[in-house]
Structure 1
């Protein structure tokens, strides 16, 4: 894509949240900026290749130029909040609910986080291609970019993808006034959820390298070999890797994180949503939370709102998965129990089972 952004548009970057840093090319030191309507960003379930279907204008700009543009924007201050999660646990639904009233604006799974998560695995190794200083500068530039608020918005809430949970400490450190929601799910419903699709999602295998390396760095090599894991064992390994990162974040940032269990959220959605909104700095009251959970958002599939999908439909899907996948769910539970016995630094995860 060649540049379609005029110099006048680029000059407005510091105050115009429509100019969105869509993707990084770390090897070529460039950033793809798109001119995205705010409505498109708000409606998007994921800020990935699907937003390109509307053929937005934009173009590549040099990384140094992007950093200079971003440094003209305000520091994040209290403008940013985050959602970190283990995947398949209601994070998109939570992001949409927090945007219901218009004072919260959710950026759902920005691609640059994935690219930085890959790079972070190699920091301080012999093959580190980015370096800690450059890594930190890019993080700070992205934070300033995301913190540019549309009119009427009190908080921009960045919902990370689960694959990027390892970046949470870097993001919170670089935005010290921000707060984060940590969304999790117990092991058994997580296994039933991940094993429900037919065929299984390729995301499990595709994300294993990042997740397993992150876990090995934090807790020691678990000795797993991807090719040898059954579907239930792979789902359990994914849960362990994500739970370990989230538990570590809560342990180091207890005052800045609020942990939410998705099944507990569904049992008391208005109360838990009010807790979440207030934690990230939205001035909600009980009526605002009730209005959000009574809206159509709770009864649509958050990742594809054109489809109906509420708590009752979710319960039916899980019941069907439990019946079809009982053997693999049992394998996953046994695998997780053995892994926690073998890795002492993960013993605290038993409280999450």
Structure 2
């Protein structure tokens, strides 16, 4: 891949995505991806995007690039339809959706590898400013970070004081069902998530030692990761009153029209009825990961099949995790719902 220094930072168009932070050189790599290319993939990661030459810019040069619109966030627990919500809002004239931009993961990785704490905030501010450049005519940029970025969510809301957030999460039994449904890949993914949460000090308050965790099953570890994220989300709501709303995947799938109307309003987006109808007939009828036809009924059938195969384990771990939550004071139902319950 080419590493050419961009000649005119101030003239950089919105199609140039701030894609990676190179900690070795302290530079930011930009890649030219138009709207159609971004919309064709579920995540803005190297695994999904086509390979293109990148262009590098020093952070001092990058500061010549200004934010052009508000940035809002979709934080999430994983396996909760957050990719689908981001895809629904990614429409010309409405918002530019950015699903799991890697530059934010790079910042988390640098932080975990021992970056000076005082360096993280300025770098995060640079990244969010650069992501706040939606395509021309769009009302805002809606960023859905990977859930490994959740530990920086509170800082992101401080850095972007106009930003609002929707926290998407799955009910505990749905989350466990998703992990079981994905087999080895799901169980490995959730253990990797647990390790990252432990590194951030998020699981230590659950009342178990590392030796205890080693003795727990995959779904017990999944439940611990879910509880740790619930605790983080509760703190986020308390720390930014009025700016954070929550939406669980079951509520979203049960009333997608209401969820989308309320999401648009929360983000200050104008969503007309005709456009809402197009979204309901488009992204909501496809699998957000691979684009195949996939309705709410298809999703329910998949979950029913997984519960039939793993129901006993899911039920037992759900009850056990609820007892753990009561013991350590974690709310299993988040407040500030986007849709009135």
Structure-1 residue corresponding to 2:338: none
Question: How much has 1:349 moved relative to structure 2?
Answer: 2.9
The answer to whether the 8 Å contact 1:73/1:148 transfers is: no
Q: 1:262 offset after TM fit, Å?
A: 1.5
Equivalent pair of 1:70/1:142 in contact (CA under 8 Å): no
State the distance in 2 between where 1:102 and 1:71 align.
26
How far did 1:237 drift? 1.4
Match of 2:155 among 156, 160, 170: 170
What aligned pairs does 1:308-323 form with structure 2 within 5 A after superposition?
308-323=293-308
- 1:75–1:104 distance in 2 versus 1, CA, 3 Å: closer
Give the whole-Å Cα distance in 2 for the aligned partners of 1:308 and 1:224. 43
* Per-residue deviation, 1:33: 2.1
The residue correspondences of 1:196-215 to structure 2 (distance < 5 A) are 196-201=181-186, 202-215=188-201
Q: Distance in 1 between matches of 2:226 and 2:172?
A: 7
Q: Is the contact made by 2:234 and 2:334 (CA closer than 8 Å) also made in structure 1? A: no
1:20 is matched with which residue: 17, 20, 24? 17
Q: Give the aligned partner of residue 202 of structure 2.
A: 216
Post-superposition shift, 1:51?
Answer: 4.4
Give the match for residue 332 of structure 2. 349
TM-score (norm 1): 0.86
Instruction: Specify the alignment match of 1:111 in structure 2.
Output: 102
C-alpha displacement at 1:121, in angstroms? 5.1
Instruction: Name the structure 2 match of 1:97.
Output: 88
RMSD across aligned positions (CA): 2.4
| Structure 1 residue 195 corresponds to structure 2 residue 180 | yes
Partner of 1:57: 53
- Give the match for residue 125 of structure 1: none
Whole-angstrom CA distance in 2 between matches of 1:280 and 1:351: 20
Unaligned ranges ≥5, structure 2: 336-341
SS at match of 1:149: coil
TM-score, length basis structure 2? 0.89
Match of 2:142 among 135, 153, 157: 157
Q: CA deviation at 1:150?
A: 1.2
Q: Structure 1: 5+ residue runs without aligned partners?
A: 123-127
Offset of residue 350 of structure 1: 5.5
Q: How does 1:1-353 map to 2 (within 5 A)?
A: 1-4=1-4, 6-8=6-8, 10-13=9-12, 16-52=13-49, 54-61=50-57, 65=58, 67-75=59-67, 79-100=70-91, 102-120=93-111, 128-132=114-118, 134-201=119-186, 202-216=188-202, 219=205, 222-225=208-211, 226-293=213-280, 295-305=281-291, 307-344=292-329, 346=330, 348-349=331-332
Secondary structure in structure 1 of the residue aligned to 2:104:
helix
Q: What CA distance in whole angstroms lies between the structure 1 residues aligned with 2:203 and 2:175?
A: 24
What is the CA deviation profile of residues 216-265 of structure 1, one whole-angstrom value per residue up to 9, with x for unaligned ones?
A: 37846642555422121122112112222112111221211121121111
Give distance in 1, aligned partners of 2:11 and 2:92. 27
Quickly say closer, same or farther: Cα 1:341–1:70, change in 2 above 3 A. same
Aligned length: 333
State the shift of 1:174 in Å. Answer: 0.3
Contact 2:203-2:225 within 8 A present in 1 as well: no
Q: Distance in 2 between matches of 1:186 and 1:55?
A: 37
Q: SS at the partner of 1:250?
A: helix
Q: Take 1:33 and 1:171, find their aligned partners in 2: how far apart are those partners?
A: 21
CA distance, structure 2, for counterparts of residue 221 and residue 309 of structure 1: 40
